[in-house]
Chain A
Amino acid sequence: MDYVIDLIIIGLSVGMVYALVALGISLIFSGLDIVHFAHGEIYMLGAFIGLMLFQKLALPYVPTLLLAIVLTGLLGVLIERLFYRRLTRSGGGYTVAGMGMIIAGFGMSIVLQNVAYLVWGAKPLPFPVPFGMPVEIGNLALPMSYVWIVVAAIVLMFGLHLLLRKTMLGLAMRAVAYNKDIAYLSGVNVPLMISLTFGIGCALGAAAGVLIGPINYVQVQMGIGVLIKAFAAAVVGGFGSLPGAILGGLLVGVVESLGAGFISGTYKDVYAFILLIFVLMVKPSGILGVEAKVKA
């Protein structure tokens, strides 16, 4: 029994990482109506930026995390402004640019991987953070790096919740997510809100990258696996639903951890997709998903 609890605790903490990435994907989907396929690379860049801040500038871990989040968020805004938005110039905005946006996302993913390869090389880099002794929970010694993931993820999720629910800015972002025309006519600067939504989505991905860094190595390819799992998490929870993304991420983490513990660690990456297929069979809109939103 203790073994099960241990696996669940580890699953939940890794699940927080998936949840953060899935949250970013869902946020971008709800705000811009695009599925951002370069989000794994944003996560990877966040980890590299964090590593550079930590090693080259010798910043402590918390400022590293915060600064990496901000920098990657700004990078996201830049990518949205310079590249993605051009695709919407022909009119109709993001909603209409659909297929082109997906291809552009894949393209961006390849470009960012290669840029990272040029800058940092192909070798996995360690991200050694002296966190101190593991925390004893029952007979599980949970490394501090996992505790940090959980604490930081909860703080970020709560912060996002406050932003979206309690501030005028959040109200405007929600309005843009639901109906851009009406948001415009209410006086909201829609292009700015779109950039902001995209930037926050990227910032969440970067946070996940910096948090996973001390556990895994930081490397150019690290985004690919996480993107697919976060995507599975977002779909399991209900695509576009923010609570759903969190729930989906945690579920994927726990299922993966239990599968690795009881069945076989070799097939660790398979369990998330078994969960995905199961949820799609039982409730195609995802656990907390609503019916597809009707677009005018």
Chain B
Amino acid sequence: MLDIKDLVGGYGTVQILNGASLKVARGQIVALLGGNGTGKSTLLKATSGLIRPWSGSITFDGERIDGLRPDKIVKRGLVQVTQGKEAFPGMTVEENLRLGAYTVGDRAKTASALERVYGYFPILKEKRKQLSGTLSGGQLQMVCIGRGLMSSPKMIMLDEPSAALAPQVVMDIFRTIHRITRDGMTVLMVEQNVRMALLLAQYGYVIKDGVIHIEGPAEKLMYDDNVRLSYLGGTVANREAQL
């Protein structure tokens, strides 16, 4: 469904992606793993159109999408949910969600998408009239994922859905992502929480210095010595380094 080939790109003159390639098949959950500054988020941004790739190709659903504007890519059914739980604090929960259906332009479809999102996240229905600035971190993440689902995309890319959330909340979010994929959604997920991501995903890629370093089925990566050494232990080391 998504086929990224030899992607090169970065910010300004700083090259971050050095020819990364990856594939996501329809209905799959694919995890993209890697340490800080290895190009995970850059890869997602280049795919969603927020930054223009320098070379390489991105094919989605059989058509080239590299170089298209982000809103055009959303229209084709590929949506990115960014890192950092960025909702619009001055808008209500429902306004935030409705904004995600901007490309839909059909009241009935928007209403049914809204009901579906409320089905995944019942707490949001309760809080739909509240300003999103008053929500907790977990609820904000739900708003962001929900907003991504509002245009009924074919595929969604999640950038660290578990970042800076309490373990219990992380479990909830991952459980919902699982439900969403069971309902037929294709997911590409960037995660620091490697263990959780590999439990959920069928296939995984490990990115290092802007290229795919290791790839394979999730259960295989879980027991791969390189991955275990660098990332499963590494995340703890990174956390300590950050502290």
A residues whose Cβ falls under 8 Å from a Cβ of B: 91, 168, 171-172, 174-175, 178-179, 181-191, 296
Contact (A171, B98) CB under 8 Å given A184-B50, A185-B80, A185-B82:
yes
A-B contact pairs, 13 of them (CB 8 A): A168-B102, A168-B105, A171-B91, A172-B102, A174-B88, A174-B90, A174-B91, A182-B86, A184-B69, A185-B148, A187-B74, A187-B103, A190-B71
- How close is B110's CB to chain A, nearest CB, in angstroms? 9
- How close is A113's CB to chain B, nearest CB, in angstroms? 36
Q: Is the pair B70, A168 in contact by a Cβ cutoff of 8 Å?
A: no
Contact (A179, B86) CB under 8 Å given A185-B79, A187-B100:
yes
B99 part of interface (Cβ distance < 8 Å): yes
Interface residues in B67-115 by Cβ distance below 8 A to A read 69-71, 74-75, 79-82, 84, 86-91, 95, 98-100, 102-103, 105
B49 part of interface (Cβ distance < 8 Å): yes
Contact (A189, B71) CB under 8 Å given A171-B98, A181-B82:
yes
Q: Is the pair A185, B99 in contact by a Cβ cutoff of 8 Å?
A: no
Q: Is the pair A172, B99 in contact by a Cβ cutoff of 8 Å?
A: yes
> How many residues belonging to B are interface residues under a CB distance threshold of 8 Å?
30
Q: Is the pair A179, B88 in contact by a Cβ cutoff of 8 Å?
A: yes
Interface residues in B29-82 by Cβ distance below 8 A to A read 48-50, 69-71, 74-75, 79-82
- How close is B125's CB to chain A, nearest CB, in angstroms? 19
Q: Is the pair A187, B151 in contact by a Cβ cutoff of 8 Å?
A: yes
B208 part of interface (Cβ distance < 8 Å): no
Q: Is the pair B82, A187 in contact by a Cβ cutoff of 8 Å?
A: no
Bound form: Cα–Cα A172–B90 in Å: 13
Q: Is the pair B102, A188 in contact by a Cβ cutoff of 8 Å?
A: yes
Q: Is the pair B50, A186 in contact by a Cβ cutoff of 8 Å?
A: no
Looking at A171, A184, A190, the one whose CB has the most chain B CB atoms below 10 A away is A184
B98 contacts which of A168, A178, A182 (Cβ < 8 Å)?
Answer: A168
Besides the known contacts A185-B79, A186-B102, 19 further A-B residue pairs in the complex with CB atoms under 8 A apart: A171-B99, A172-B102, A174-B90, A174-B91, A175-B91, A178-B90, A179-B86, A181-B70, A182-B87, A183-B99, A185-B70, A186-B100, A187-B71, A187-B100, A187-B151, A188-B99, A189-B69, A189-B71, A191-B69
B154 part of interface (Cβ distance < 8 Å): no
Interface of A is mostly: helix
Looking at A178, A179, A181, A182, the one whose CB has the most chain B CB atoms below 10 A away is A182
Bound form: Cα–Cα A178–B12 in Å: 23
Q: Which 6 A-B pairs have the closest CB atoms?
A: A187-B74, A187-B103, A184-B70, A187-B102, A186-B99, A187-B71
- How close is A174's CB to chain B, nearest CB, in angstroms? 7
Contact (A178, B88) CB under 8 Å given A168-B102, A184-B50, A187-B103:
yes
A184 contacts which of B71, B89, B100 (Cβ < 8 Å)?
Answer: B71
B12 contacts which of A91, A179, A181, A189 (Cβ < 8 Å)?
Answer: A91
Q: Is the pair A184, B86 in contact by a Cβ cutoff of 8 Å?
A: no
Bound form: Cα–Cα A91–B52 in Å: 11
Interface residues in B5-40 by Cβ distance below 8 A to A read 12
- How close is B188's CB to chain A, nearest CB, in angstroms? 14
Q: Output the nearest chain A residue to B151 by Cβ-Cβ distance.
A: A187
Q: Output the nearest chain A residue to B87 by Cβ-Cβ distance.
A: A182
Q: Is the pair B74, A186 in contact by a Cβ cutoff of 8 Å?
A: yes
Residue-wise interface mask of B (132-175) relative to A, using a CB-CB cutoff of 8 A (1 in contact, 0 not) = 00000000000000011001000000000000000000000000
Looking at A172, A182, A185, the one whose CB has the most chain B CB atoms below 10 A away is A185
- How close is B228's CB to chain A, nearest CB, in angstroms? 34
Contacts of B75 in A (CB 8 A): 187
Q: Is the pair B74, A171 in contact by a Cβ cutoff of 8 Å?
A: no
- How close is B58's CB to chain A, nearest CB, in angstroms? 16
- How close is B41's CB to chain A, nearest CB, in angstroms? 12
Q: Output the nearest chain A residue to B81 by Cβ-Cβ distance.
A: A185
Contacts of A174 in B (CB 8 A): 88, 90-91
Contacts of B99 in A (CB 8 A): 171-172, 175, 183, 186, 188
